[in-house]
Amino acid sequence: MPIVNRERYEELLTRAKAGKYAYPAINCVNTETINAALEGFAKAKSDGIIQFSTGAGEFASGSIKNMALGTIALAEFAHRVAAHYDVNIILHTDHCVPEKVGKFLIPLIEETERRRAAGLSNLFSSHMFDGSELPLKENMKTAVELLTRCQKSDMLLEVEAGVVGGEEDGINNENTPAEKLYTTPEDMVAVYEALSGVKGARYMFAATFGNVHGVYKPGNVKLRPEILKHGQAAVVAKHGQEAHFDLVFHGGSGSSEAEIKETLEYGVIKMNVDTDTQYAYTRPIVDYMMKNYDGVLKIDGEVGNKKIYDPRAYLKVGRANMAERVVQACKDLNSTGKSMGR
């Protein structure tokens, strides 16, 4: 079983919450970044999450520019390679805004439905619907529809209420009013009441507490993790301990270790890692090009050095460094050494 099934997925989330650790969710855009994530998780002896955004799917499809097609191709590769590692891998999709549901989420859900009808395992473990741009009632209406459909195919759904600031993958919230960057306790109660209507379904909730996508120097992003604490308390007070959310931390680049650790106390079981791993992948490639300038280029009529400009030579240094950043993410989230094994 290369990608975790529903039963194992729920067990992983339950163990993480009880143990107060979270799984890094690594955004990947090609086979090399998938390999980097897998190598990092294996080295850290941590289970983990590989996820694809709409932009990654479009990029992976080349000039066809079909985000669903590219994502399916990346997922099929991840299935094949993940089967050779001894850690559990959750396969997930990242932010899908309402306008892209029809050309991204629905085709991916349909692909899993086709696989199941043929007796094959799910293509994905879970998906994310980001309806945070909508009024909450409308957001939850679509979320309930998607959760109901995911539930039928033994998949989980991640939802978001409140807005993550900054810009990522073409989603620009840089001018969002400050008050919208914080999910209120009332909103958290409303999310639970809407989604709990889908009997037997399990979901993850990306509540916002000042998170900002992108990269910032420490101290520039003003996180308020206590918002998660107050929101969880409000939900539990009204609906009991079973209402306690599995929370997701978006926009964590530049966060202090203390802030990250604090969110784990309040039920965060997944943290997205994208900006930092992008840089970790690109930085050594830049270094390679600068140090091997006369080898990667045919300068002044020379022939260059094929061993140097072979893409495998420089892509593997990026992959290795990104894998180390994944190891660091596991350490930050306390998941190191906690793999349940296959």
The domains of the chain, with CATH numbers, are 6-332 (3.20.20.70)
pLDDT value, residue 216: 47
Question: Would you say residue 317 has pLDDT above 80?
Answer: yes
Question: Would you say residue 214 has pLDDT above 80?
Answer: no
For 237, the token pair is 């007070």
Question: Residue-wise over 151-185: b if at least 16 C-beta within 10 A, else e?
Answer: bebbbbbbbbbbbbbbebbebebeebeeeebbbbb
What are residue 272's DSSP bridge partners?
A: 25
Burial class of 82 by CB neighbour count within 10 A (0 to 12, 13 to 18, 19+): buried
pLDDT value, residue 173: 42
Mean pLDDT of 237-257: 90
pLDDT value, residue 211: 73
Cα–Cα dist 161/150, whole Å: 19
pLDDT value, residue 179: 57
Band (221; pLDDT cuts 50, 70, 90): low
Question: Would you say residue 254 has pLDDT above 90?
Answer: no
Question: Would you say residue 131 has pLDDT above 90?
Answer: yes
Question: Would you say residue 23 has pLDDT above 50?
Answer: yes
Catalytic residue among 47, 94, 130, 274: 94
pLDDT value, residue 210: 81
Cα–Cα dist 296/311, whole Å: 10
pLDDT value, residue 251: 78
Cα–Cα dist 166/232, whole Å: 25
pLDDT value, residue 171: 47
Cα–Cα dist 145/159, whole Å: 12
Question: Sign of dihedral through CA atoms 229, 230, 231, 236?
Answer: positive
Band (341; pLDDT cuts 50, 70, 90): confident
pLDDT value, residue 342: 80
pLDDT value, residue 1: 54
- Per the annotation, the verdict on 187 as an active-site residue is no
Q: Each residue of 159-206: pLDDT tens digit? A: 999 755 444 455 444 444 555 678 999 999 999 999 999 999 999 999
Mean pLDDT of 207-217: 69
Band (224; pLDDT cuts 50, 70, 90): confident
Question: Would you say residue 263 has pLDDT above 70?
Answer: yes
What are residue 129's DSSP bridge partners?
A: 159
Residue among 317, 249, 340, 309 at smallest CA distance from 35: 317
Residue among 280, 272, 50 at smallest CA distance from 164: 272
Question: Would you say residue 321 has pLDDT above 50?
Answer: yes
Minimum mean pLDDT range among 31-35, 42-46, 163-167: 163-167
Mean pLDDT of 102-131: 97
Mean pLDDT of 261-265: 96
Band (215; pLDDT cuts 50, 70, 90): low
**Sequence letter at residue 58:** E
3-state helix, strand, coil in the chain (%, to 5): 55, 15, 30
Mean pLDDT rounded to a whole number for the chain:
92
Residue pair 100/65 in contact (Cβ under 8 Å)? The answer is: no
pLDDT value, residue 180: 62
pLDDT value, residue 222: 72
